[in-house]
Amino acid sequence: MELKTMKRITGEIVKGSEMSTKAKIQLFNYIKEATVHQIIALLLDGTIVNPDEEAQEILESRFLESDILDFLDAKEAEFKKK
Protein backbone atom coordinates (compact mmCIF):
# COMPACT_ATOMS: atom_id res chain seq x y z
CA MET A 1 0.00 0.00 0.00
CA GLU A 2 1.28 3.43 -0.90
CA LEU A 3 2.26 5.88 1.85
CA LYS A 4 -0.10 8.47 0.36
CA THR A 5 -3.04 6.09 0.76
CA MET A 6 -2.00 5.17 4.30
CA LYS A 7 -1.81 8.85 5.21
CA ARG A 8 -5.24 9.50 3.70
CA ILE A 9 -6.84 6.65 5.65
CA THR A 10 -5.10 7.72 8.86
CA GLY A 11 -6.37 11.26 8.30
CA GLU A 12 -9.91 9.96 7.86
CA ILE A 13 -9.63 8.08 11.15
CA VAL A 14 -8.45 11.24 12.91
CA LYS A 15 -11.20 13.28 11.23
CA GLY A 16 -13.88 10.91 12.55
CA SER A 17 -12.46 10.77 16.05
CA GLU A 18 -13.77 12.60 19.10
CA MET A 19 -10.53 14.53 19.65
CA SER A 20 -10.57 18.27 19.98
CA THR A 21 -10.09 20.35 16.87
CA LYS A 22 -6.69 21.48 18.13
CA ALA A 23 -5.55 17.87 18.63
CA LYS A 24 -6.81 16.91 15.18
CA ILE A 25 -4.90 19.76 13.56
CA GLN A 26 -1.72 18.69 15.34
CA LEU A 27 -2.18 15.11 14.16
CA PHE A 28 -2.97 16.19 10.59
CA ASN A 29 0.31 18.14 10.55
CA TYR A 30 2.16 15.11 11.93
CA ILE A 31 0.58 12.79 9.36
CA LYS A 32 1.49 15.16 6.54
CA GLU A 33 5.21 14.90 7.38
CA ALA A 34 5.29 11.32 8.74
CA THR A 35 7.31 8.46 7.30
CA VAL A 36 5.74 5.11 6.53
CA HIS A 37 7.06 3.72 9.84
CA GLN A 38 5.60 6.61 11.80
CA ILE A 39 2.20 6.04 10.15
CA ILE A 40 2.41 2.33 10.95
CA ALA A 41 3.17 3.09 14.62
CA LEU A 42 0.27 5.53 14.75
CA LEU A 43 -2.13 2.98 13.24
CA LEU A 44 -0.94 0.05 15.34
CA ASP A 45 -0.37 1.72 18.69
CA GLY A 46 -1.76 5.23 18.48
CA THR A 47 1.71 6.55 19.25
CA ILE A 48 3.82 9.29 17.75
CA VAL A 49 7.37 8.02 17.42
CA ASN A 50 10.62 8.46 15.54
CA PRO A 51 11.69 4.82 15.20
CA ASP A 52 15.29 3.80 14.68
CA GLU A 53 16.25 1.14 12.13
CA GLU A 54 15.64 -1.80 14.50
CA ALA A 55 12.26 -0.43 15.55
CA GLN A 56 11.32 0.05 11.89
CA GLU A 57 11.87 -3.65 11.23
CA ILE A 58 9.75 -4.58 14.25
CA LEU A 59 6.98 -2.21 13.13
CA GLU A 60 7.01 -3.67 9.61
CA SER A 61 6.77 -7.20 10.99
CA ARG A 62 3.93 -6.31 13.36
CA PHE A 63 2.13 -4.43 10.60
CA LEU A 64 2.28 -7.35 8.18
CA GLU A 65 1.03 -9.75 10.88
CA SER A 66 -1.78 -7.50 12.08
CA ASP A 67 -5.43 -7.34 11.09
CA ILE A 68 -4.99 -3.68 10.20
CA LEU A 69 -4.01 -4.64 6.64
CA ASP A 70 -7.50 -5.96 5.95
CA PHE A 71 -8.98 -2.75 7.35
CA LEU A 72 -6.68 -0.58 5.23
CA ASP A 73 -7.40 -2.59 2.09
CA ALA A 74 -11.15 -2.18 2.66
CA LYS A 75 -10.75 1.56 3.20
CA GLU A 76 -8.58 1.86 0.11
CA ALA A 77 -11.29 0.12 -1.92
CA GLU A 78 -13.87 2.58 -0.55
CA PHE A 79 -11.71 5.55 -1.61
CA LYS A 80 -11.31 4.16 -5.11
CA LYS A 81 -15.12 3.97 -5.45
CA LYS A 82 -15.49 7.69 -4.65
- Is the pTM here over 0.75, yes or no? yes
Position 39, amino acid: I
Q: Identify the pLDDT of residue 80.
A: 82
Please name the residues in contact with 25: beta carbons below 8 A apart, sequence gap of 6 or more: none
Distance in angstroms (rounded) separating the CA atoms of residues 73 and 54: 26
Q: Is the pLDDT of residue 78 over 90?
A: no
pLDDT, tens digit, 9 for 90 and up, residues 60-72: 999 999 998 889 9
Q: What is the pLDDT of residue 48?
A: 92
What's the pLDDT tens digit per position in 16-57? 999 999 999 999 999 999 999 999 999 999 999 999 999 999
Helices (H) and strands (E) in the chain, counts: 5, 0
